[in-house]
Amino acid sequence: MKTIKKNGRKIEVVKMKYLTSKTWFDYASTSKYESWMAAINPIVNSINTLQKTEELYTPYRATFCMPKISDYSYTKVQAINKSNNTRYDAMETVITFANGDKVTVSCPIEEANQYTGFYTAIAKYAMGNSNKVNNEADYWINKLPKQKAKTEEKARRLKEQAKNIKRKKERRLQKEREDMEAKRLADKYKIKLIANKKYGVPLDFEP
């Protein structure tokens, strides 16, 4: 800040001009911004780290700790298909944990496997005893391949349609060329007939 060594009044005026100037405002704004950024950067870094972690892992993978199993069963049951309300034979896996939690999974008897049922029950429990594991498996095993197949089939049909359009265009152009050539030959023959009648020029004469 500029100071003038004359009297107190003059110095105060210079101070006031500086404090109300754009230079002081820019300096103050920059200082506050830098201070704010220095304070907020650790929080931003923590949020970014947490976001990257959540993109790679589910909360269950980070926190799941399976309690001790207190009971297990693998039995044949009558299950109900909710889509058409029909009954079918299924194998049901039931796991009870020492903390009182219980998880149940079932599978049609012709597709059932005891080890798969056990692993599926543990995975279901790890996902909060929800159908998230089943939904993910259904997406990657059934839905996604069908979507890809549908997309590929659509692309194949579009490609085939483009080829058909190209072939039709080529046939149309070929037909036009043939028609033009036929017309040219017909006109040429007419000219020969006229020349033959008027001047006796042979029809096989080529100029």
Spell out the SS3 assignment of the chain: CCCCCCCHHHHHHHHHHHHCCHHHHHHHHHHHHHHHHHHHHHHHHHHHHHHHHHHHCCHHHHHCCCCCEEEEEEEEEEEEECCCCEEEEEEEEEEEECCCCEEEEEEECCCCCHHHHHHHHHHHHHCCCCCHHHHHHHHHHHHHHHHHHHHHHHHHHHHHHHHHHHHHHHHHHHHHHHHHHHHHHHHHHHHHHHHHHHHCCCCCCCC
> Between residues 199 and 100, which one has the greater pLDDT?
100
pLDDT tens readout for residues 4-47: 444 544 555 555 555 556 565 555 555 655 665 666 666 666 66
Q: What is the pTM for the complete model shown?
A: 0.46
Average pLDDT, whole number, for the chain?
78
User: Which residues share a beta bridge with 93?
Assistant: 74, 105
Q: pLDDT value at position 57?
A: 47
Q: Which of 137, 91, 96 is nearest to 115 (CA)?
A: 91
How far, in Å, are 20, 67, 95, 171 from residue 16 at the CA level?
6, 71, 79, 89
Band the pLDDT of 61: cuts 50, 70, 90: very low
Q: pLDDT value at position 83?
A: 79
Decide if pLDDT at 110 tops 90.
yes
**Longest Cα–Cα distance in the chain:** 130
Whose tokens are 């923590």? That residue is 46
Q: Is 119 exposed, middle or buried (0-12, 13-18, 19+ CB in 10 A)?
A: middle
User: Which residues share a beta bridge with 71?
Assistant: 96
Decide if pLDDT at 186 tops 60.
yes
pLDDT tens readout for residues 133-142: 888 888 999 9
Percent share of the chain, pLDDT over 70: 66
